[in-house]
Chains A and B, each alone.
Chain A
Amino acid sequence: MESIISIKALSKRYQGGFEALRHIDLEIRRGEILALLGPNGAGKTTLISIVCGIVNATEGEVTVDGHDIVRDYRAARSLIGLVPQELTTDAFETVHSAVSFSRGLFGKPANPAHIEKVLRSLSLWEKRNNRIMTLSGGMKRRLLIAKALSHEPRVLFLDEPTAGVDVELRRDMWQLVRGLQADGVTVILTTHYIEEAEEMADRIGVINRGEIILVEEKTKLMQKLGKKQLTIQLQAPIETVPASLAGLGLDRSPDGETLTYTYDAAHEQPGIGDLLNKLNNAGIGFKDVHTTQSSLEDIFVSLVKDTR
């Protein structure tokens, strides 16, 4: 698939020598929702800041829709909207004037109808004449989103958009992001809520210590790395796993009441039916069986732990 942002061999060394990014290569596809996951200090914000022109890269190249972010910064930046991680807003301006200001800053002529649409979609229209300092934290977050959308960007960066946002609003925000995607906007979001990535993203990238350790389609990722577990509740506790079942990797719980069988989702393997037959043959009766699939969260934790 065609990529809209292309990051090549990008490195960032901050003053003082700290290497925040090491040789990042990343292609972001047109129209996708990409979730960037990574522990605190991994380099997510640094990466976004470089693409948006807030931080200078030490090495490497970035193009946005074919425009180099340094040589052709005007064309590149006018395609991008950024919602920063920190709640940085003016205090005394009104909501409406702040959003109009952003549109002008990005070189677009005034368009009150668009501003109204954006404010309404973020439930800020009623607050349009309020000063920013009178808004709540969640409203300020939405204001930042409104500012980023004011100039109709083709690429939207959301740096932890749902931090400090209540559950209902978070769902509204997801809805909004899906709507943007339907309009062809590419969305890159960072989050520490893994269920958010699981819910929203088409692809997932994991950054740790300045390196991209994985970029994968969400569904493939979950298939590839997701472990499935079959839990079997026995009718009567057993002392040991019978010899006929040894070598299958069955785990007996300490109380002997359940057996668990862990298998890879990728290889729909040594049939569960087979296993259950073997249990029957061994004369082990069971009350209940259920399977669980490891969540993205488990996958993420194990990935990051491996590289620590």
Chain B
Amino acid sequence: MKNLNRRDFFKSAALGVSLTVLGTSKAKGSDKMLSDDRLGILVDTDVCVGCRHCEWACRVAHNLPTPDLDNYSDNSVFKEYRRPDAGSLTVVNKFENEKNPLLPIHVKVQCMHCERPACVSACIVGALTKGDDGSVVWDDDKCIGCRYCMVACPFQIPTYDYDRSIDPHIRKCDLCTDRRKNDELPACVNICPNEALLFGKRDAVLAVAKTRVKRKSDVYVNHIYGEHEVGGTSWMYIARKSFDKLNMPHLAANPAPGISESIQHGIFAYFVPPVTLYALLGTIMWITKRRSGDDDELISDEEEKGKGGKL
């Protein structure tokens, strides 16, 4: 099993690097047609009340250490801006609402499940994949813990479980793949008291977002975050305040692989020798292994012969 993976890894490393070096790299998945039925989730920050039940449910669903739900009434966590970490795949942050200080704005953060995920194209061993349903999931068996995905992600989402660097674990929202297999809604969507997280087919969800923004044009800014950002994302947001002010990165509409490629190029610019070495080594190993396969036969023949000679 592990051997196979290693071999896979070297193959893809060699392939990845040679493609990158040649500069003809085509992002994985960018050719792939996205299914019309792929999923989407709309976060309506005007409806979210910041109860953080979604945080709680997400932890429970992923068997992460979970404090009692009653502890989630503590408002003081909002004092600092938080990011998802290895212990919580999603977090809710609070922002001022200048128009009405009594009704602050809450914004849930998690992996956006990009339509053209930079993490997927950055991962050199194919541990991250974009599924037909739109979800971007991580494979425990393939990950080598290089953390390229963390650098590539325009939203700085994947987190690394530093406590277990021997058996590396990248953690991020997986769109509750396991729950959905059992016909259950993602845990956060299911628990939200206000349905601030609207789950459905991406097209339908986007249509609802458009209607809400249009109907309450005096409330919402005319921008659906995630509709076009980095080529579109599965999670989308609407809000009454410009997204720059909600700590959402300002991103252009060109797909993230472009970004990740340039990041990769950037990284490789510094790391060319070792990477080329890797590639060379990989290629050499691959070739020698094939050869050694032949050699093995030769050797064994010789050995047999030798043995035979000895005998």
A binds B: no
Interface on A for B, CB 8 Å cutoff?
A: none
Interface on B for A, CB 8 Å cutoff?
A: none
